[in-house]
């Protein structure tokens, strides 16, 4: 097994995840099987109970793992299927060690951070690195490990010690480290000086912590000057080729191209002795085709003129990372449709009458954004705040025939909106949002433990069956003749089964249900250009080279090319 560790210094959020994913992509394009592991030093067992505003979105894997959003980058770039164990947290490691201690696995020894915690981390990495992550079912050749946070954080110390020891376990020629640093420009803007001192200090810190980077990836708002690169190499006792410049580009999909032009693959091949890995011709050809498709998509975005605007009406829009997978899914669909994407971030609470009274400018701006958008999307979320504004946006999209996509909460609110405004059930509501309502269109799933939050939802991949008589469905047409689809879920509420017949009789069709036909998965309106609600999260399975068909259909409808896209997919199938 070959390992590539990606660590960070100077500041967090500098782009380790994109650089790690891009590195993995380049390795995959030469035929290697690549897996990835994300280390998060926080004490939480997983990201399931974290606020999206604080930590960004919670990403969900096939097996129901709730984890850091960077795992989504790996899956989207590498076309892999990761597991809950591919995300390591302090909480998981300590829980694992304590459970072993309780049953006497350590034979009476005093359990300590070194060696017990650090050994457990290494054992975990070596075990998970061997898990197959693609359709071949074969063990990966290379494992990309991203160390979250910045080197020097107190909580990172056991992990730094562990990955330092892992280098010795792996052996010479099987381990390389990329340290991502930040090069600020002072004063900011053109003409400012590129400051190398933070990177010099970051490299000094990481070396004093026991790690020895083989490459420095320097992030900067603008291309690094030759003199800056040479100074960093000189002051950090490295060759010029060991300093990789990663400046801001038009889209993150250009980052792999940027790394490729600087011959990152050649350098990694020398460090990891990649020529010793025997690769079948078929895998090399597949990798080459993957790279060609990636380059074509990345370059195509630079020459597009037609823009499609999507109003994303949510409650966490103050932090765009809260909807990372969804915004990326829109990007994938835009590239497929050869359109430029403009996401309009609308705080749903600004659509409510209370905002009109207290902040009329925000109210009118929010409604202008919704009314002028080519499509309206209401994503998932929890809690009552802003849900009335979401319902109002749904009413607009339904009555004005504007393409609409509701995901999880957005699907449930579409059912409530329809029950209220079409069926005339004024107090139709949700057990979560409207506990005192007499008519709950949305109810707790019976198996949910209401006393806990973490890990109690319906999580992971579950099948959805298209129902007989729904051949008219625009969404179903995108999936071809497949009677069922598999999508990832994250919810604890569902449509009230007792109200299904009444709602369908009024024109809101449940075109997709679970295997037993008891749980509603997809709603759709027949005489609408595109009005679809999905209980699942289609964004989790969207890939750069394989867009989610649910999101693609919505975007194509907003772009006015749904029929063309549907015909193309049917022809390819």
Catalytic (active-site) positions:
408, 537, 539
b/e string for 13-24 if b means 16 or more Cβ within 10 A?
ebbbbbbbbbbb
Q: How many CA atoms lie within 13 A of 546 on its CB side?
A: 14
The 8-class DSSP code of residue 467 comes to: P
Residues 547, 544: Cα–Cα separation, whole Å: 6
- 3 state SS of 217: strand
Residues 83, 77: Cα–Cα separation, whole Å: 16
Residues 296, 293: Cα–Cα separation, whole Å: 5
Place of tokens 């690094």: 224
Residues 6 or more apart in contact with residue 98 via CB below 8 angstroms? none
Do residues 211 and 162 touch, judged by C-beta distance below 8 A?
no
- Listed residue (253, 205, 166) closest to 8, CA to CA: 205
- Listed residue (415, 573, 414, 555) closest to 480, CA to CA: 573
Do residues 120 and 166 touch, judged by C-beta distance below 8 A?
no
The 8-class DSSP code of residue 223 comes to: P
The CA angle 272-278-281, to the nearest 5 degrees, is: 125
Residues 6 or more apart in contact with residue 568 via CB below 8 angstroms? none
Distances in Å between the Cα of 49 and the Cα atoms of 123, 177, 382, 478, 559 are 27, 32, 11, 34, 36
List, as one string, the DSSP characters of 77-144. Answer: HHT----GGGEEEHHHHHHHHHHHHHTTTTTTPPP-IIIIIHHHHHHHHHHHHTS--STT-PPPSEEE
Q: How many CA atoms lie within 13 A of 294 on its CB side?
A: 26
Residues 43, 94: Cα–Cα separation, whole Å: 9
* Backbone phi and psi for residue 216, each to the nearest 5 degrees, phi listed first: -115, 120
């Amino acid at each position: 097994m070959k390992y590539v560790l990606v660590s960070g210094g100077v500041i967090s959020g500098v782009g380790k995840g994109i650089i790690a994913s891009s590195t993995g992509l380049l390795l995959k394009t030469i035929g290697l099987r690549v897996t990835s592991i994300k280390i998060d030093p926080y004490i939480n067992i997983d990201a399931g109970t974290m606020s999206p505003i604080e930590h960004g979105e919670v990403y969900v894997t096939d097996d129901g793992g709730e984890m850091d959003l960077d795992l989504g980058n790996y899956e989207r770039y590498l076309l892999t299927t990761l597991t809950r164990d591919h995300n390591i947290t302090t909480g998981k490691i300590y829980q694992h060690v304590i459970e072993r201690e309780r049953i006497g696995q350590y034979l009476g020894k005093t359990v300590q951070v070194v060696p017990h915690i650090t050994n457990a981390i290494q054992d975990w990495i070596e075990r998970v690195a061997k898990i197959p992550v693609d359709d071949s079912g074969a063990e990966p050749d290379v494992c990309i490990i991203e160390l979250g946070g910045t080197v020097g954080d107190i909580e990172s110390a056991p992990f730094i010690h562990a990955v330092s020891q892992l280098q010795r376990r792996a052996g010479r020629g099987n381990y390389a480290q990329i340290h991502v640093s930040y090069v600020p420009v002072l004063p900011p803007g053109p003409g400012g000086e590129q400051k190398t001192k933070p990177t010099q200090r970051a490299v000094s810190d990481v070396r004093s912590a026991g790690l020895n980077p083989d490459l420095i990836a320097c992030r900067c708002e603008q291309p690094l000057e030759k003199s800056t690169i040479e100074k960093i190499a000189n002051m950090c006792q490295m060759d010029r080729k060991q300093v990789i410049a990663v400046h801001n580009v038009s889209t993150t999909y250009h980052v792999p191209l940027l790394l490729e032009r600087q011959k990152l693959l050649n350098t990694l091949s020398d460090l990891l002795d990649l020529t010793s890995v025997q690769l079948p011709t078929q895998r090399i050809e597949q990798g080459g085709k993957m790279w060609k498709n990636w380059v074509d998509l990345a370059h195509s975005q630079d020459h597009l003129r037609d823009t499609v605007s999507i109003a994303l009406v949510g409650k966490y829009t103050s932090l765009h990372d809260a909807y990372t997978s969804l915004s990326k899914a829109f990007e994938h669909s835009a590239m497929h449709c050869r359109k430029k994407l403009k996401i309009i971030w609308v705080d749903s609470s600004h659509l409510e009458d209370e905002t009109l009274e207290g902040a009329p400018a925000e109210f009118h701006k929010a409604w202008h954004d919704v009314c002028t958008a080519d499509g309206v999307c209401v994503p998932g979320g929890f809690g009552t705040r802003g849900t009335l504004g979401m319902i109002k946006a749904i009413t607009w999209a339904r009555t004005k025939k504007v393409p609409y996509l509701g995901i999880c909460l957005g699907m449930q609110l579409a059912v409530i909106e329809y029950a209220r405004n079409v069926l005339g059930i004024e107090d139709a509501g949700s057990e979560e949002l409207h506990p005192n309502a007499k008519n709950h269109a949305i109810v707790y799933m019976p198996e949910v433990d209401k006393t806990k939050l973490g890990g109690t939802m319906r999580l992971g991949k579950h099948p959805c069956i298209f129902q007989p008589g729904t051949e008219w469905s625009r969404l179903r047409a995108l999936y071809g003749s497949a009677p069922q689809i598999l999508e990832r879920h994250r919810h604890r509420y569902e449509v009230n089964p007792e109200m299904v017949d009444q709602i369908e009789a009024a024109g809101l069709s449940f075109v997709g249900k679970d295997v037993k036909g008891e749980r509603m998965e997809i709603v759709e309106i027949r005489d609408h250009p595109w009005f679809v609600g999905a209980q699942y999260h289609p964004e989790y399975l969207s890939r750069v080279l394989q867009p989610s068909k649910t999101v693609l259909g919505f975007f194509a409808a907003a772009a006015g090319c749904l029929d063309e896209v549907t015909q193309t997919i049917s022809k390819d199938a």
